[in-house]
Amino acid sequence: MTETNSCVEKGALIDYLYGEADAEARARVEAHLRVCVQCADEVSGLKDVRGNLEAWVPPQAELGFRMVSDAKPEPVTMSVWSRLRRPPVWGLTTAAAVVLVAAATITKPELEIGRGGMVLRIGWSDTEPEATTQPEAASRVDPPTRGAEPPEPVQPLRGTPVAVGRQSRDTVPLQPGAEVILGPGVTAAADESLLRAVGQLLREEERIANRRQADLTEIQRAFGEFEVTGADRPRQQLLDYLRRVSAR
């Protein structure tokens, strides 16, 4: 069994063993090894150990490490998440259509075009007007006041609202405090004013009819003068045509 060498200083022996001793130190060690069997055996044994270490070879592992920069610009192609966050045009169109259908289902609009003009009605109460309660009417009429003092009770007028002419609707003034109901009927507060407006319209229509009759009389008188003066046959036919048109 080899023990530590006590003759040569360890540092000098290691320098000699690894060939890093200068010439003077190497000569000194070699001179000692020639006369000291123990030290010679020590150095020989350590050299053999170094030689045997050659057999310790690491495995041929698959390495191939590569660093990849993570600061590259984002690719042009959109990720799946980005695509989900950007709905297509057809999706937006579909969503808009769904909203319109839902709104139409809820509000139930009715469009009526008659001789007096166009009337658009929306609301929930025309199917069951009797079930309409006052709070509902109030809430639809004046939402901003909900939660404050309770509104005045209203009496919804049943039935189809009066179809008035466009000119008449524009000229009919709303009474102060009158309520507008989106649905069939008018409020009792506007009942009297509406009747007055209808009477005014009737009187206006009577006035227009009287004026039309006066115009016809004047035309007839004028054409009569032509007859007196011996007008021709076509003028008489034109006069008859105008009479028929005015009589409609």
Partner 1 sequence: MSGAQTAVFGMQRTDEELVALSTAGDMESFNQLVVRWERPIFALAYRVLGREEDARDICQETFLRAFRALKGFKGQAKFSSWIYRIALNLCRDWIRRERRTTKVTSLDADTEPAPADRSAETAEERVVRHDLGRVITRAMSALSEEQRTTIVLKEYHGLTFQEIADLQKCPLSTVKTRLYQGLGVLRRQLQRSGVHGLEGIVGLPPTGLMARSSRKVVNLDR
Quick one: DSSP state of residue 157? P
Q: What share of the chain is helix, strand, coil (3-state, %, to 5)?
A: 55, 5, 40
User: What minimum distance in Å lies between the beta carbon of 73 and partner 1?
Assistant: 14
3-state secondary structure of 225: helix
Size of the site for partner 1 (CB under 8 A): 35
49 binds partner 1 (CB under 8 A): yes
User: What minimum distance in Å lies between the beta carbon of 77 and partner 1?
Assistant: 22
Distance CA 26, CA 18 (A): 11
Question: Among the candidate windows 49-57, 74-82, 131-139, 183-191, which touches partner 1 by CB under 8 A?
Answer: 49-57
Question: Among the candidate windows 2-10, 108-116, 162-170, 221-229, which touches partner 1 by CB under 8 A?
Answer: 2-10
**Site track 13-42 with partner 1 (rule: CB under 8 A), x = hit:** xxx-xx-x----------------------
204 binds partner 1 (CB under 8 A): no
Q: Which is nearer to partner 1, 72 or 248 (CB)?
A: 72
3-state secondary structure of 187: strand
Distance CA 165, CA 171 (A): 10
51 binds partner 1 (CB under 8 A): yes
77 binds partner 1 (CB under 8 A): no
Distance CA 172, CA 166 (A): 10
247 binds partner 1 (CB under 8 A): no
Q: Which is nearer to partner 1, 59 or 173 (CB)?
A: 59
73 binds partner 1 (CB under 8 A): no
Distance CA 231, CA 222 (A): 11
Quick one: DSSP state of residue 7? S
Q: Which is nearer to partner 1, 33 or 197 (CB)?
A: 33
Of 54, 74, 128, 149, the one binding partner 1 (CB under 8 A) is 54
Query: Residue 96 is encoded by which pair of tokens?
Result: 């808009």
Angle of CA points 211, 213, 215, to nearest 5°:
70
Phi, psi of 23, rounded to the nearest 5 degrees: -65, -40
State the CB neighbour count (10 A cutoff) for residue 80.
7
User: What minimum distance in Å lies between the beta carbon of 29 and partner 1?
Assistant: 13
State the CB neighbour count (10 A cutoff) for residue 50.
11
67 binds partner 1 (CB under 8 A): yes
- Which residues contact partner 1 by CB under 8 A? 1-2, 4, 10-11, 13-15, 17-18, 20, 44-46, 48-61, 63-69
